[in-house]
Every structure is written in C-alpha cells, then in structure tokens.
A and B are shown apart, each in its own frame.
Chain A
Amino acid sequence: MNFRHAAWGIGLAALIALPFVYRDPYHLHILVLILIWSFAYTAWSIMGRFGLVSLGHGGFMGVGAYVTALLWNHLDVSPWIGIPVSMVAAGILALVVAYPCFRFRITGHYFVLVTLALSGIVLQVITATRDYTGGSLGYTPNRARSGSGLMALQFDDKTTWYLIALAVWVLGLLMWRWVDRSMSRYAMEAISEDEDAAAAAGVNVTAEKLKITLISALMTALAGALYCQYQMFISPDTVSGIAVSLQMVFAAIVGGLYVSLGPTVGAIITILLAEVLRIGFGTKAVGWDNLVYGLLLVIFIIFLPKGILGSVLDRLKTQPKPSGTK
C-alpha cells in the first residue's frame, strides 16, 4: 500500500504547488468552487452512502451561510467565531429533526420527505425574514475595513482562497476515510440492510444514525459558510432549498457514492459542464446545464447506479490481474 500513499502525497503536493506556478484567476476561481462544492457533496455522501438519503442538506448549507453572514453584519461577530456558531446551529437543527426520525423509525421515502420539509422550512424562513436576510434578492456580507481581512475571513487574492478550500477539501476526505474505517461504518451498513437485525446484534441504531447525521450536517454548514465568505453573495436559491439538496444528491451519485473521491469527481463534472455550457452558449445556455444534469441523473440511476468513479474502479478490480506484476 506504500504506492497508494505515495500517489496521494504527490497528488496533494502538486495541488498545493499549483497556485504558485499557475495564476490564471478564472481557472483558480473554478478550482475553488470545485473544492468547496466537493466538500459539500462529500459531506452529503457520508450519510447518503448508508441509504440515509437526505434532501435537507440544502437547509444545513443555508443555515451555515446565513448565520455566519448575519452575525458578521448585524453583530460584528468575526466569521472565525461565526462559522463555529453556524455549525452548531445546523447541528442542533439536525438533531432536533433527526432524533425523532430515528427514534420513531422514519425511514426510506418518509425520511426523504421529512428532510425535504426541513429544507423547505429553511428556505421559507430566509425568504420571510427579508428585513434581515434580504429575502430572495440575496445577501452580501459587509466588506471588512482595510487591513482586517484576516479577522473578517475576506481575502482578495485567489491563491489564499484556493489553499483554504484545498485544506477543507482534504479535511472532508479525511473525515470520509475516518468514517470508512470506523466501527460506525459496519454498524451503519448493518442498519441499512436490516434495522431490527442490527439492533438485535447490539448496534445502538438511533445513536449510530445520529452520529453520522451530525457529522454530515456540521460539514455541510461549514461548506455553506465558506461558500458565503468566498463568493461574498448568497441568495436563498444558491445555498438553500430543495434545488440545492437535489444538486448534492445528483453530483454524489454521478461521481459515485461509495468511493471517497466520487463526490469530487461529481463536482468536477457538474461544475465544468455548467461552465462549458455557459461559455459556449452565453446567455442562451440558461437551463441547458440543468437539462443535461437531469438527463445524466436519470441515465446514471438506470444504468450506472454506482457512479462514474465507482464503476471504473469496479471494472479495474474485477479484471484478472496478469501474474507476475505486483
């Protein structure tokens, strides 16, 4: 396995070195977006891979983004404190909704629809409190006074943002790997097969599910807050609601739910697709990217439910290895 570690190390070193040798701001901007969204999709797939399909992650992301921005604008609280607060808020929201869900055995379709209601609530609350949040017109965090960029977590150069996003993305992968190697993974797999059997075998079903949900919600809120700090503009449609939730599900499935880099591949494909269509068609492209997304989603679920990366890796594994090579 040393070869694998070396490959990861070299890949990571290349990614860190990238902005110092290649400085095209547009391409760096796309990379930052890909990294932030990859992190969000990874967060979703941490629970999605165990059959806990949530459409409430748009809500967690919205809480992360709006709580951070509102604390900064109205109470002058630095995002360094605001982001943890927003994560705690999203975590509490997740616990309040998820605990009864798991306690009362709300699974499958019903769980999907309860979480759908959750992201609906967050979207409507943001729109309804338009005196504070700007409603559907969107919201902009105040610019920091010059010289206090670090305190306000606002940076003008793309390189800094690229490194922050890269660090967070690596953190997401490490979390994924940690869950993948923990006992929780086996417990969750048993639960997704048969809850009663898992409970009989000594798995604390409610606690295990809550743990995974909490991790996933906290990470999603962090992604929302980072997105807000980077873009300096958020609107209910871009960071919350059902459309964002579906977008997460879609990217994770296209990339591959069951492998750690799957959501990242999903983010690369979806964001590049949107950008290529936008540049190729200009303003006429409105709608085309989603049309292609939707078609791909349907085709993938029917023909490739493991996603692109998952299917490719499966293909590689099942191929008979010629003897002699390692």
Chain B
Amino acid sequence: MQGFLDIFDIYLLEAVVNGILLGGVLALLALGLNLIFGVIDVTWICYAELVMIGMYGMYYMVQVFGLPYWVAAPIAIMLVAALGALLHYIVIAPLLTAPPINQLLATGGVLFILQSFATVAFGIDFRNLGIRLPVLAIGDMHFSYSRLLAFIAALLGMLAVYFFMTRTYTGTAIRAISQDRQIMSLMGVDTKRIYLITSALGGALAGLAACLLVLQYDVHPFVGLSFGPITFLICVLGGLGNFVGGFIAAFVFAEIISLGGLFSDLEWGYVLAFAFFIVMMFIRPAGLLARRS
C-alpha cells in the first residue's frame, strides 16, 4: 500500500510539473492573442495557423536547407511577424469599422486559407525536425529538455514583451491605445502604424511559439486545431485583452489538461478543460480577474 502511494505521488508530481511546462507555451500564445485583441479589438481565429506556418518554416530551414536551429529560429520569428503584419494589412484593415463578428469570420476564412495552403504546398505528411533532446531524470520522474527549454524561452519572450511595453515609446503608445483608441489619434499617435506594429509583434510571438513547439510536436497542416481552440479559451477565461489574467488562465488550463490526462485519456483532459471553461464563463463572464463593476 505504501509503495503504491509513493508511485502515485511521483506520477502526480510529474504531471503537475509537466502541466506547468505546458502552461508556459500556452501563456506565450495567449499573450500574443491578447495583445491583438486588447489593442486592435479583433480576434484572430487563425492565430494557431500562423504558428503552424512558422513550424513549417522551421522544418524547411532546418531539415531541407540544413540551417542550424539557432539561425533558423530568428528567421522563422521574423517570417511569422511579417505574416501577421500582412494579415492585418490585407484582411483586418479594410474591416476595422465592420461589425466584430465579420472580423472574426474573415479571420476564420484565413484559417481555411492557411490550412489548405499548407496541405497543397507541403502535403499532409507528419514531419519533424529530427532533433531529439535528451530527457532529464530527477529521481523517478522524467522531463524532456525540449519542454524545459520551451518553458524558459516562453518566459523570456514574455519578459521581453513586458519590457518593450513599459520601457519604450512605441510600447507605451500601444498600451495607451488599448485604453482609449479614439483619443490617441488626437494625441498625435499614428494609429495605423501602431496597429501594424502590434500585429507584427503578435506574429512574432506566434513565431517564437512555433520554434518551441516544433521541438515537441510533429508538423502537419491541421496541427493548429490541436492548440488553437485552447488558446482562445485561455484568453477568454483570463478576460480578453487582460495580459495577467491570460497568463494565470494558461497555467490553470495546462494543469487541468495534464492532470486529467494522468487519470484518464488525454482527450478527457481536454473535455474537462472545455467543460471547466463553460462553467467558469457562467460564474465569471468577464474573466478570472474581472472586478465587479
């Protein structure tokens, strides 16, 4: 009996730690989406598909062109950042005054475009980088270095965004716009330019997430569907546009998925997370950290 408890605890601890490591990457994704929502007031349904394109970029640069990982990563980040700016310029900018639902559905169309573009251009095979990072063993617990690396890099990325937002003029302007978008154009801030920069920044965060996820998962055109919905739910749970709320919600979700997966199949972890989300929406419709007005 004692032995059984010991083993159980170790698995539990391993699941908890893995949940935290997963939470880091989810928090990074949620930050990018929250940034776009908070500043431009648009939800990019296709956000996870940008990550998917970034993962393919990494795959081609590393596997096909033979670039080292550390060279390929910045290029992939810049590529997805450019894609984000392009998405804003072509699709969102003409729809800025349209009803929010239309913006949402237009990015839904972009989701179809990116998915099928990947299907047509790259095929539906599963591909991976072929980089196997060693596994870290502490006692009887096993953690993969790729997850650890992803967690640390995600935290660094978020820290970089934090300093950009608080210490630079552009960052201050971005935060100001998210508070009041009408008045800022009267204050001499070029709103269009800020929107474009924000979109590029959101894209860059998706690119960073792509570089980290490609170490853990195989790439295929529909990989976005496996973490895209979760990212939206995290953002909504934390309160759309609320950076701190999104950060906390990411870890809550990651723990639910990880622990749910421990006691049963991984799918049940997702079911639990989705059900938790729906229940939370009824209890706190404006997000975890919303103050009662």
Q: Are A298 and B240 in contact (CB under 8 A)?
A: no
Tell me the bound Cα distance from A290 to B46 in angstroms: 14
- In the complex, whether A113 has a CB less than 8 A from a CB of chain B is yes
Q: Are A294 and B113 in contact (CB under 8 A)?
A: yes
Q: Are A120 and B108 in contact (CB under 8 A)?
A: no
Q: Are B267 and A124 in contact (CB under 8 A)?
A: yes
Interface residues of B in 95-113 (CB under 8 A from A): 95, 98-102, 104-106, 108-113
- In the complex, whether B13 has a CB less than 8 A from a CB of chain A is no
Question: What residues on B are CB-neighbors of A100 within 8 Å?
Answer: 281-282
- In the complex, whether A313 has a CB less than 8 A from a CB of chain B is no
Q: Are A253 and B105 in contact (CB under 8 A)?
A: yes
Q: List 27 A-B contacts (CB under 8 A).
A: A53-B104, A53-B105, A100-B281, A106-B281, A108-B101, A110-B236, A113-B233, A114-B281, A116-B232, A117-B274, A120-B270, A120-B274, A121-B278, A124-B267, A125-B271, A128-B264, A128-B271, A253-B105, A286-B120, A291-B120, A293-B112, A293-B116, A294-B109, A295-B113, A298-B106, A298-B113, A302-B106
1/0 per residue, CB under 8 A from B, across A279-320: the answer is: 000000011111101111110011001000000000000000
1/0 per residue, CB under 8 A from A, across B163-202: the answer is: 0000000000000000000000000000000000000000
Question: What residues on A are CB-neighbors of B10 within 8 Å?
Answer: none
- In the complex, whether A242 has a CB less than 8 A from a CB of chain B is yes
Interface residues of A in 179-217 (CB under 8 A from B): none
Interface residues of B in 255-293 (CB under 8 A from A): 264-265, 267-268, 270-271, 274-275, 277-278, 281-282, 285
Question: What residues on A are CB-neighbors of B146 within 8 Å?
Answer: none
- Further pairs besides A124-B270, A290-B119: 13, Cβ < 8 Å: A113-B233, A117-B277, A117-B278, A120-B274, A121-B271, A121-B278, A128-B268, A243-B225, A249-B108, A293-B112, A295-B109, A298-B109, A301-B95
Question: What residues on B are CB-neighbors of A295 within 8 Å?
Answer: 109, 113
Q: Are A297 and B106 in contact (CB under 8 A)?
A: yes
- In the complex, whether B124 has a CB less than 8 A from a CB of chain A is yes
- In the complex, whether B91 has a CB less than 8 A from a CB of chain A is yes
How far in angstroms is the closest Cβ of chain A from B90? 8
Query: A287 with B91: in contact, given A120-B274, A124-B270, A250-B108 (CB under 8 Å)?
Result: no
Q: How big is chain A's contact interface, by range?
A: 35 or more
Question: What residues on B are CB-neighbors of A110 within 8 Å?
Answer: 236, 240, 281, 285
- In the complex, whether B128 has a CB less than 8 A from a CB of chain A is no
1/0 per residue, CB under 8 A from A, across B216-233: the answer is: 000001000100010011
- In the complex, whether A134 has a CB less than 8 A from a CB of chain B is no
Query: A287 with B105: in contact, given A109-B240, A113-B232 (CB under 8 Å)?
Result: no
Q: Are B267 and A53 in contact (CB under 8 A)?
A: no
Q: Are B233 and A117 in contact (CB under 8 A)?
A: yes
**Which A residues contact B (CB, under 8 angstroms)?**
51, 53, 97, 100-101, 104-106, 108-110, 112-114, 116-118, 120-121, 124-125, 127-128, 241-243, 246, 249-250, 253, 286-291, 293-298, 301-302, 305
How far in angstroms is the closest Cβ of chain B from A259? 18
Tell me the bound Cα distance from A101 to B282 in angstroms: 7
- In the complex, whether B117 has a CB less than 8 A from a CB of chain A is yes
1/0 per residue, CB under 8 A from A, across B106-150: the answer is: 101111111111111000100000000000000000000000000
- In the complex, whether B34 has a CB less than 8 A from a CB of chain A is no
- In the complex, whether B18 has a CB less than 8 A from a CB of chain A is no
Question: What residues on B are CB-neighbors of A298 within 8 Å?
Answer: 91, 106, 109-110, 113
How far in angstroms is the closest Cβ of chain A from B237? 10
Question: What residues on A are CB-neighbors of B66 within 8 Å?
Answer: none
Most chain B CB atoms below 10 A, which of A97, A109, A250, A253: A109
Query: A109 with B91: in contact, given A246-B111, A250-B109, A287-B120 (CB under 8 Å)?
Result: no
Q: Are A109 and B104 in contact (CB under 8 A)?
A: yes
Q: Are B112 and A250 in contact (CB under 8 A)?
A: yes
Question: What residues on A are CB-neighbors of B114 within 8 Å?
Answer: 294
Q: Are B275 and A286 in contact (CB under 8 A)?
A: no
Which of B104, B111, B221 is in CB contact (< 8 Å) with A112?
B104
Query: A297 with B105: in contact, given A120-B274, A125-B271 (CB under 8 Å)?
Result: yes
Question: What residues on B are CB-neighbors of A294 within 8 Å?
Answer: 109-116
Query: A97 with B106: in contact, given A128-B267, A242-B225, A246-B111 (CB under 8 Å)?
Result: no
How far in angstroms is the closest Cβ of chain A from B26? 15
4 closest A-B pairs by beta carbon, nearest first, are: A294-B112, A287-B119, A297-B109, A128-B267
Q: Are A246 and B236 in contact (CB under 8 A)?
A: no
